[in-house]
């Protein structure tokens, strides 16, 4: 699935699923922009890992919740690599609270990054992507499971799924696909934080495959959607969750 000469932006790519996506796309021939907000050393570590294996990458700081910074992200990518072919909207936050306990600040922050940030990047990609481009959003299987304490997070990602389906239709005639990947429980710092070993074990047993997903499991699905092999997949939500839902 080589994509030599193409360029991908991966938001929130300094660790976890984003890091796995960035390194896999680079190994498939993409020049990769490792987007980050607050962890420059980790982002640069991803860049150096890609470069050390012969790939092309750069790290660009941008807060996706701010339209002006998203515009700068796309402009800087084009300046360095000549254009943009793939956008992977991976940046996100998660904090578990019941709806009754969710503060206005937490709700607004969750939507600002997870939903508004995805919207801002999709909007920029709508005019910036070259023909044959791909927009790949990250949702969550929590949208299907509707588990307690995930209210703000699930609401933000449900919005992402609807934006995915709408924009796939809006780009008619542009030869650009828009899809989303909805991971199940995946062994990342974001998932592990705030959970007891017993809670993690419960999640592990939910899937018929009886394990947590790994970041590489999700990255491989994203890499397929970024490739030419996925050209007939459009407007879809792929639940990469080991069979949980």
Q: Cβ(21)–Cβ(90) under 8 Å? A: yes
| Residue whose entry in the numeric block shows the structure tokens 């578990």 | 96
Give yes or no: 153 in active site: yes
Distance (Å, rounded) from C-alpha 124 to C-alpha 73?
9
Residues 87-121 as b/e (b if ≥16 CB within 10 A, e otherwise) read bbbbbbbbbbbeeeebeeeebebbbbbbbbbbbbb
Is 42 buried (19+), middle (13-18) or exposed (0-12) by CB count in 10 A? middle
Please pick, among 36, 153, 191, 203, the residue that the annotation labels catalytic: 153
DSSP state of 100: G
Q: Which of 196, 201, 159 lies closest to 180 in space, CA to CA?
A: 159
User: Would you please indicate which residues are annotated as catalytic (active-site) residues?
Assistant: 153
């Amino acid at each position: 699935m080589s994509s030599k000469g193409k360029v991908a932006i991966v938001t929130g790519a300094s660790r976890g699923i984003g890091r796995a996506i960035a390194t896999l796309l680079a190994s498939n021939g993409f020049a990769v922009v490792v987007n980050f907000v607050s962890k420059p050393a980790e982002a640069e570590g991803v860049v150096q890992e890609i470069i050390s294996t012969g790939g092309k990458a750069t790290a660009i700081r941008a807060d996706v919740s701010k339209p002006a910074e998203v515009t700068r992200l796309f402009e800087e990518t084009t300046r360095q690599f000549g254009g943009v072919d793939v956008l992977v909207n991976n940046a996100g936050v998660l904090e578990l609270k019941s709806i009754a306990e969710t503060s206005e600040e937490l709700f607004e922050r969750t939507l600002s990054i997870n939903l508004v940030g995805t919207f801002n990047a999709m909007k920029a990609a709508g005019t910036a992507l070259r023909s044959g481009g791909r927009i790949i959003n990250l949702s969550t299987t929590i949208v299907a499971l509707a588990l307690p304490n995930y209210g703000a997070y699930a609401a933000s990602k449900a919005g992402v799924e609807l934006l995915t389906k709408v924009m796939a239709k809006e780009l008619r005639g542009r030869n650009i696909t828009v899809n989303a990947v909805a991971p199940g429980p995946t062994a990342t710092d974001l998932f592990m934080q705030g959970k007891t070993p017993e809670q993690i074990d419960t999640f592990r047993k939910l899937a018929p495959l009886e394990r947590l997903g790994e970041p590489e499991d999700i990255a491989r699905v994203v890499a397929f959607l970024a490739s030419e092999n996925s050209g007939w997949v459009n407007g879809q939500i792929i639940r990469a969750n080991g069979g949980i839902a």
